[in-house]
Structure 1
């Protein structure tokens, strides 16, 4: 999909590009993602089921949670991490071509939803200290206040919620 062009590291730049990371550059990329894909706080944003979409979803979540909603950096960091985990699961396990990202806020809570066309349910597995994978739902379970799955006629929505202090 052409919309993802330039959202990750440019081809062939590897470590040289990573060395130039800065908050300002990341902020610029986040705002660009918002322009390209839309605001997931206003409507579900469809993203291609590709590994690089995790970075796009993280950037969109960061723009909404930190800038638009003005929530704390710690809450933003946790929410962005959990978005990445749920997107990774959607990309790896659903066989979907596209998934949807939606962020909602109501008094005292934020809710992040990932919708995909698979009706396969995610499974929280026990995690061992030396495990190198399988920690995604463990992190969601640990860092969110609640999470779950809503089955839909065609697919499911996996979601998590976090308590927030209202101003």
Structure 2
């Protein structure tokens, strides 16, 4: 499979989430890589969650996103200017937010965050099915704090 890449920068504003998601989905569709619906829908949700977190925590400036399709992996990277790395946890039942990284962890095959010279990079990888019968299983040993 050929390598494909989209890189974009959006303002750290709530409207950026919709813009980033739409641009990424248009690019992915344009790659004509014949990704199955589950991968595309998973990517759409992961992009929304990572960009939302970046916008929420970046302060001012821009958020950058790169989506790459290489071999059998779709990788999504979102960078912002905050040096604070996210912490995975399960929020209270009454919390109105705090579930984004939990969703990313549940949907992606791998995910992580790392410091950069200008803030941080949060990333997630979605493995492409190698056969039509391949199913993914998720095991999440999380407890409420």
Higher relative contact order (CA 8 A, sep 6+): 2
Please tell me whether residue 164 in structure 1 is matched to residue 128 in structure 2: yes
Question: Are residues 65 and 50 of structure 1, via their aligned partners in 2, closer, same or farther at CA, if it must alter by over 3 Å?
Answer: same
Equivalent in 116, 126, 136 of residue 90 of structure 2: 126
Equivalent in 108, 112, 117 of residue 81 of structure 2: 117
RMSD across aligned C-alpha pairs, in angstroms?
A: 1.9
More helix by share: 1
Structure 1 runs of 4+ with >2 Å offset: 41-44, 64-67, 127-132
Please tell me whether residue 139 in structure 1 is matched to residue 103 in structure 2: yes
Give the secondary structure class of the aligned counterpart of 2:123.
strand
Offset, 1:129 = 4.6
Residues 65-87 of structure 1 deviation map (CA, whole Å, 9 limit, x = unaligned): 33413311221111111111111
Give the secondary structure class of the aligned counterpart of 1:96.
coil
CA distance in 1, matches of 2:96, 2:86: 18
List gaps (5 residues or longer) in structure 1: 1-40
Equivalent in 37, 60, 65 of residue 73 of structure 1: 37
TM-score using structure 1 length: 0.69
CA distance in 2, matches of 1:42, 1:55: 19
More strand by share: 2
